[in-house]
Amino acid sequence: MDYAPGTVVQVKEFGGRELARRVVRDIGKTVVVCNEQEFQAAQREQREADGIGFPKKDVIKVIQRA
């Protein structure tokens, strides 16, 4: 599955905790995500959000499509 920038997904981080994050970009087997605060700040400042890569296998579900 491909994820559009801005999509809200639930990811499982190392240790098993589940987090809601915004997609920054989809790069093959990895999805780059950030928290809501960073996503909103990047939009205000007209820049790409700083994010961290997660393997797509750790994306549990889509919460809201962009």
pLDDT tens-digit map of 1-53: 899 999 999 999 989 899 999 999 999 999 999 999 999 999 999 999 999 99
Per-residue model confidence (pLDDT) at position 14: 87
pTM, two decimal places: 0.93
Q: How far is CA 42 from CA 13, 17, 20, 31, 48, in A?
A: 23, 25, 17, 17, 6
